[in-house]
Amino acid sequence: MFRDAPPPSASAHSDSPDGPGLAALERSHDGPPPRHALKIALLGGGERHTALALSAARSLHDRLAAEARQGAARRRAALPAAGAAADAWLSRLSRTLAHHRHAACALAAAAFDSAY
């Protein structure tokens, strides 16, 4: 061990139970550490990384569902009543909306279940 090196307990990024700290990660790799491991170390553990990833995915699905809902409303307003049922584009938008709503709700339920 080097004389000038601080003791391991004095590290700014100590080892967490969810994964290695940043200092340990840098010591264990000659080149750059793996991206996933680096993200976990910077965020303070795997649990926080997972929570942020779920939140980002839910936010994405919420936004995509809102866009699909808006697109379906615009398409429906532009079509005559008789042609709406047979319109392939409106059908695709409806399926996209259902998919993203379902995904956002499933991610919200997963976040709720993990919190309690």
- Per residue in 8-50, pLDDT (tens digit) is 443 444 444 445 576 777 777 777 777 878 877 777 777 888 8
pLDDT per position as a tens digit, 94-116: 999 999 999 999 988 877 776 65
Structural domain boundaries, residue 33: 8-43
Same domain, 107 and 78: yes
- Tell me the whole-structure pTM to 2 decimals: 0.63
Largest CA-CA distance found in the chain, in angstroms, rounded: 83
Look at the block and give the residue holding tokens 């649990």.
Answer: 47
Q: Residue 19: helix, strand or coil by DSSP?
A: strand
Q: φ and ψ at 19, to 5 degrees?
A: 175, 175
Same domain, 51 and 67: yes
Q: Is residue 2 part of a domain?
A: no
Q: How far apart are CA 104 and CA 92, in angstroms?
A: 18
Q: Is residue 85 part of a domain?
A: yes
The model's confidence at residue 74, banded by pLDDT at 50, 70 and 90, is: very high
Q: Is residue 57 part of a domain?
A: yes
Same domain, 104 and 71: yes
Overall number of domains in the chain: 2
